[in-house]
Structure 1
């Protein structure tokens, strides 16, 4: 059994019929723009009007990942940093009144333990991707966390502050050891 769940999702443009998205994902659902960072193009779609706003605010050819809304994780998530499949630091991000928990949008950070489950997820994702240095975001679920996303260029300030761990130093040590 996997250490995490994956939210139901659809890939498409805002031309997809609203009713077919709701049929597959339920309401509300989340729209994630594929080129964004720091929570800028992440929207909560609560009704047909908020879905139609996507077509007004973005080109209709823009690709979106439409995703099941995980209510247990409203305004909070976990970010951990993985170096070659080893979870080295973790934090919980907590928003004040926004469903997104991005530090760039004002969320606060607090330490969170690197659990055996988080270690397993780090190893699994490294095995699947082969990516050496990344931030992994998880949403809180009832029984298990939900995989949210991988960040290949995550900011380090929040996680270093929350965990007290010099993640940048660990990255440099890892790279240096490749050359010695």
Structure 2
């Protein structure tokens, strides 16, 4: 099978592992920088080139699109979809996951647990907005931040107002959430592939911080998720249309609460903690999907593997 991986850096751990896993299983695989892909869109068909050469005949594409290139990267992925290429994470699903506000609205509408969240625009409404949320501490996070960047904890109401005023002055989009104290600075990353949780790790924030991200100095160890936690993670990924997802949960007195659904979850931390060949699971899942006929969106054509 001919596979493509959309990644800006072929030397990154996750990209390298996917390439290794694909080649170990006898697939042809190529890493493509999405910013070097460019496309032709016309009513008579779709075409795409990468560094001067046509991109044709790919059975499947695995997106590893960073937050900084979300808009262009998903446009490239959408072009692959329109050309009949299978992907486990469609472009629209990635966009849903990247927009934290939209993601939370979709999850809450289906009854999935998450920390109470408020969102508003006008400075005149800040006091009432925070009253809707409840007492401090509050967690304030940028709507499209990643790896713990742009996430702040405020312990006093005056601090919440000050941070909100500063972010509004920067024209930033942000959410304000309740702080779930019983989580004690820990969360779970459930890695979902093909509708199953293939590995789970517990991440613990370093002393003096509440963010458990490994990029922020957090530690990780393999754990066994409960049936409720696995069900929550699987439902969240399915709701967003993601075949591959890292679903971050916290354990609370009212059950598992979703913090975030990551459409391009890193492999290094969870493979090291769990010892599971997650890259191999992804490739096997993609290989199954890539063998199925794919409808050419808007044209009704079929691509046969």
Same fold (TM over 0.5): yes
Deviation at residue 91 of structure 1 after TM alignment = 0.4
Cα 1:104–1:58, aligned 2, differ >3 Å: closer, same or farther?
farther
Describe how 1:3-42 pairs up with structure 2 within 5 A. Answer: 5-13=113-121, 15=123, 17-25=125-133, 26-42=135-151
Between Structure 1 and Structure 2, how many residues are aligned?
A: 179
* 2:236 maps to 1:125: yes
Aligned alpha-carbon RMSD (Å): 2.2
Q: Unpaired segments of 5 or more residues in structure 2? A: 1-109, 292-305
> 1 or 2, which has the higher helix percentage?
2
Aligned to 1:103: 214
Partner Cα distance (1:74, 1:13) in 2: 31
Structure 1, residues 97-118: CA drift from partner, whole Å, max 9, x if none? 2111100000000111033223
Cα 1:83–1:57, aligned 2, differ >3 Å: closer, same or farther?
same
Structure 1, residues 49-106: CA drift from partner, whole Å, max 9, x if none? 3541454467442111111111111311111100132111000001122111100000
Q: Secondary structure of the equivalent of 2:119?
A: strand
1:92 to 202, 205, 212: 202
Query: Which protein shows a greater Rg?
Result: 2
Q: Secondary structure of the equivalent of 1:154?
A: coil
Cα 1:55–1:106, aligned 2, differ >3 Å: closer, same or farther?
same
2:249 to 121, 135, 138: 138
Partner Cα distance (1:112, 1:50) in 2: 34
Q: Secondary structure of the equivalent of 1:12?
A: coil
Cα 1:14–1:34, aligned 2, differ >3 Å: closer, same or farther?
farther
Deviation at residue 17 of structure 1 after TM alignment = 4.3
Q: Is the 8 A contact 2:228 2:256 kept in 1?
A: no
Q: Show structure 1 runs of 4+ deviating over 6 A.
A: none
Bigger Cα displacement from structure 2, 119-128 vs 55-64: 55-64
- Please report the TM-score for the alignment, with normalisation by the length of structure 1: 0.88
Q: Secondary structure of the equivalent of 1:110?
A: strand
Q: Unpaired segments of 5 or more residues in structure 1? A: none
Q: Is the 8 A contact 1:12 1:66 kept in 2?
A: no
Partner Cα distance (2:228, 2:114) in 1: 15
